[in-house]
């Protein structure tokens, strides 16, 4: 834990590169949602995830090899790495793919970014972070946002609750995996650790794809799907996976959280622009409630204690 600056000491300026990374994560992860919707309209879920997670793993390990000269992971860290990968990557990617395939992409992005709320709750039990009043408020606001999105469809037993439940499981899995990642000490660079976690996740995904789904004919993909895949592989799966953990490692929690708050906003409006999805009172109300939940859990505590961390 770092100490607060001594009285009269000017705080060190935050690295400008970090702000560019944060802006990139916000924009590219936000626009990831309509891209996923387009790709999943032409590819089965398990093959889509085999391709995207595999590409992400290969890209990050190549970056790690070029920039750091090695992709070696100490033997004692392999077990924790695989455990984290099962939740932060395997659970997240599979549940999210099924979720976004069964509901509007903008709504899916709102539910997905309840993740920090669940991570905050898990952190109280796994790494001893206090379960504070702002966390309770955040949980209640997040649940209220989910109720706004799901309530009407639950009453009529529509198909959207299935997608919403998958997205909720994705957010919970990602949150649990993120706390596990924080619990362990990693000696390898971020790109190496994340690259191997993606590799650990893609192996079971590929096995399930081979057993349960016919191999897709990629020559039949539309130009729109090809462009969506190219975008998803290069930016959300490689750049954002690396940049997310890099931003968390170099920025105070409050600043990193502000970027997270903006991702579902970009997701909702990019889905409206690209896919023509409607943005009504339910989406706007849920967006406000869930962004308020994230602010309660992540931003408010850091601002109150004046140290830039929750």
Is pLDDT at 238 greater than 70 in this prediction? yes
- 93 to 156, 166, 193, 233: CA distances (angstroms): 28, 10, 17, 13
Q: In angstroms, what CA-CA distances link 41 with 35, 45, 75, 209?
A: 10, 9, 41, 17
Tell me the C-alpha distance between 301 and 184, whole Å.
24
Lowest mean pLDDT among 7-21, 28-42, 109-123, 223-237: 7-21
Nearest to 257 by CA among 286, 293, 285: 293
> At 120, is the pLDDT very low, low, confident or very high (cuts 50, 70, 90)?
confident
3-state secondary structure the chain: CCCCCCCCCCCCCCCHHHHHHHHHHHHHHHCHHHHHHHHHCCCCHHHHHHHHHHHHHHHHHHHHHHHHCCCCCCHHHHHHHHHHHHHHHHHHHHHHHHHHHCCCHHHHHHHHCCHHHHHHHHHHHHCCCCCCHHHHHHHHHHHHHHHHHHHHHHHHCCCHHHHHHHHHHHHHHHHHHHHHHHHCCCCCCHHHHHHHHHHHHHHHHHHHHHHHCCCCCHHHCCHHHHHHHHHHHHHHHHHHHHHHHHHHHHCCHHHHHHHHHHHHHHHHHHHHHHHCCCCCHHHHHHHHHHHHHHHHHHHHHHHHHCCCCC
- Using the predicted structure, report yes or no on whether residue 249 has a pLDDT greater than 50: yes
Per-residue model confidence (pLDDT) at position 45: 92
Q: What was the pLDDT predicted at 127?
A: 74
Is residue 300 predicted with pLDDT exceeding 80? no
Q: Which residues contact 142 (CB under 8 A, 6 or more apart)?
A: 114, 117, 289, 290, 293, 294
- The pTM assigned to this predicted structure is 0.77
**Residues near 139 by beta carbon (within 8 Å), at least 6 away in sequence:** 117, 121, 293, 297
Average per-residue pLDDT for the chain: 81
CB-CB contact of 204 with 90 (8 Å): yes
Contact 287, 107 (CB under 8 A): no
Reading the block at residue 38, the tokens are: 């387009």
pLDDT bucket at 157, cuts 50 / 70 / 90: very low
Over residues 87-112, the mean pLDDT reads 88
């Amino acid at each position: 834990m770092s100490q607060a600056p001594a009285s009269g000491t000017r705080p060190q300026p935050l690295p400008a590169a970090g702000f560019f990374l944060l802006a990139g994560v916000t924009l590219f992860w936000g626009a990831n949602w309509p891209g996923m919707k387009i790709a999943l309209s032409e590819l089965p879920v398990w093959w889509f995830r085999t391709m995207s997670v595999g590409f992400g793993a290969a890209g990050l390990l190549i970056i790690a090899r070029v920039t750091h000269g090695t992709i070696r992971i100490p033997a004692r860290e392999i077990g924790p790495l695989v455990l984290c990968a099962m939740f932060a990557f395997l659970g997240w990617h599979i549940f999210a793919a099924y979720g976004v395939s069964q509901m509007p992409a903008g709504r899916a992005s709102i539910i997905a970014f309840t993740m920090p709320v669940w991570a905050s709750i898990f952190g109280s039990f796994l790494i001893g972070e206090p379960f504070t009043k702002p966390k309770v408020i955040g949980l209640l606001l997040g649940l209220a946002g989910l109720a706004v999105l799901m309530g009407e469809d639950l009453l009529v037993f529509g198909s959207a609750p299935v997608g919403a439940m998958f997205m909720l499981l994705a957010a919970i899995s990602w949150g649990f995996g993120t706390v596990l990642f924080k619990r362990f000490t990693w000696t390898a660079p971020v790109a190496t650790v994340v690259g191997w976690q993606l590799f650990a996740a893609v192996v079971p995904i590929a096995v399930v794809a081979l057993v349960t789904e016919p191999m897709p004919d990629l020559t039949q993909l539309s130009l729109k799907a090809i462009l969506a895949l190219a975008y998803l592989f290069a930016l959300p799966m490689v750049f954002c996976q690396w940049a997310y953990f890099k931003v968390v490692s170099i920025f105070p929690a409050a600043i990193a959280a502000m970027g997270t708050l903006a991702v579902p906003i970009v997701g909702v409006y990019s889905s409206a622009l690209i896919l023509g999805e409607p943005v009504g009172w339910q989406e706007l109300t849920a967006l406000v409630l869930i962004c308020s939940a994230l602010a309660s859990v992540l931003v408010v505590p850091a601002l109150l204690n004046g140290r830039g961390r929750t």
